[in-house]
A and B are shown apart, each in its own frame.
Chain A
């Protein structure tokens, strides 16, 4: 096998700083939104006592789930021995870390008392899956950091499969933990299910691969290169299988809930009568996020093409955001059944569907986190040799390139 060659991003001056400035501007807007919410209190957002987790959480959880899945390409190479993916493995690790950082930044910024982050890191209730997740996130940074190091340093590269295996197992546990944050809640009829942990793991496979695809294609394009046809087709096939798996988990989850009579109310709300939620579920999660990407990835005309694979990846990401919206917001819109069999009404909005409209500060906070993840990736590819030489089209060599370092 030819030696793998990686190098840093060759785009310089305005070609690099231009996009970075735009991302920086978005991050600044996110920070401004954070300050506004922090100083005035959450009443300036669309969140209230009925909808305590809003748009920022939708984006944050999506980023966190996608982050663990972004490691997929590296895992397929290191753990499952598909060496064709090895050139993209270091970038996969980096994207995974940056996207997780972006997601966690949104969560931390949305806390009621973000000044108490130190408290959160020193006081732990070990029965709380939230607290356990905090350990899993920090451990993820450490393990993937080590994995990246092993992949990129010549004398450590023989240990990279061990690190890859550790990272793979860790991320399965982490994403199961993220899903269980919802799955463990008996209070919400849309949750209360052991399936949510594994479902989030399967979702992470497809969202992470899709997000990684977009980032990789964008980073290479930024470097005035493109992924070669074979690699593109391979990634497209991988994305297709993982998207099909996500559809399967969604189907099993809802079919099971539908079988249980007591959940007929919540299921009918989310899948048929809930207005925005069935729309996002069927058109967003199932249609744009599942059926349409599969059609694009398998149709003979678009199969294996760069445009097709990129379009499918973007659609999967959109479908993932729709899924998170339904999962997080839809679940809160349905009231807790305190007196089953009775119709409830009160001045505290019991017994009625809770309305929610995302507000501008929440949107900027969410986009700020996404921009932070993108900015970190941008700096990462500029500073570290992550972009592969092989598996990319050599027909369009970059304008000014630093000497490539053989590994």
Chain B
């Protein structure tokens, strides 16, 4: 190919440097691709999670505790109406009785039924794949709760006080896992549940950019046999499960 061989060398070197790890999980290419604070999100990034349920111990709820703490979810003593953004489902195989455990939260589908059914468009999918509820336009009709195959959404049944400043939530609106959007937008690059699971040493939850073939999550997705929950519905969730 024609062109300056020095340029070619510099270009290759730059690309190689960008691939070198600066810190675990963070590389120059991620910083370069990271969104500048004043800029809108784009579809260049698609946030997702991989949950390796083989690492999930029955009875472990570290992810649930971390999520509740990060997002200000409180236990009012009324479990039937308390919001739950992530929960551990204990599983038992109907044929054979093998027991298993998996955390389930909003699956952040690419084709979310909750977004389809919301009459005001409050339930929406952000460009980077995070499915959110815009509580400014939510009228609390609960149609999205009816429509979600994963029972991901909760309705707030009581007056709330002491909300976390970065996680506004209130009575009469519907809510669900936000992939810790407040942390993602801050640049933390990880959700509370994934962070807690990693810190505790279980390593069941990997979070990252599904669109980046070099990210940790993309690599693991290539290695570990994984699937979407209710794949028959063709919703293309951003959360994948291995081991179940």
Contact = CB atoms under 8 A, between A and B. Distances in A.
A and B touch in the complex (CB under 8 A): yes
Interface of A: 40-43, 47-50, 52-53, 111-114, 116-117, 119-120, 123-125, 127-131, 134, 181, 184-188, 332, 335-351
A346 B171 contact: no
Nearest to B83: A49
Given A48-B157, A112-B141, A186 B149 contact: yes
Given A123-B120, A185-B113, A49 B155 contact: yes
Contacts of A181: 143
A119 B156 contact: no
Q: Which 6 A-B pairs have the closest CB atoms?
A: A112-B140, A112-B172, A43-B157, A125-B121, A130-B119, A48-B80
Interface in B66-89: 76, 78-84, 87-89
Q: Main SS of chain A's interface residues?
A: loop
A41 B172 contact: yes
A42 B151 CA distance: 18
A35 to B, nearest CB: 14
A70 to B, nearest CB: 25
B233 interface: yes
A114 B171 CA distance: 12
Given A48-B80, A117-B139, A350-B151, A341 B93 contact: yes
A332 B146 contact: yes
Interface in B98-129: 100, 102, 104, 113, 115-122
B117 A129 contact: yes
A345 B87 CA distance: 10
A41 B161 CA distance: 13
Contacts of A342: 91-94, 100, 244
B132 interface: no
B147 A120 contact: no
Contacts of B179: none
Contact of A119 (B76, B94, B139): B139
Given A112-B140, A187-B113, A124 B159 contact: no
Contacts of B90: 344-346
Contacts of A120: 119-120, 139
B229 interface: yes
In this complex, the member of A40, A49, A335, A343 whose beta carbon has the largest number of chain B beta carbons within 10 angstroms is: A49
Contacts of B172: 41-42, 111-113
15 contacts: A40-B158, A42-B81, A43-B78, A43-B157, A48-B157, A49-B82, A112-B141, A112-B156, A124-B119, A332-B146, A338-B229, A340-B230, A344-B90, A349-B80, A350-B87
B204 interface: no
Contacts of B233: 186
Contacts of B29: none
Given A130-B119, A184-B117, A111 B78 contact: no
Interface in B174-210: 174
Given A338-B104, A338-B150, A345 B89 contact: yes
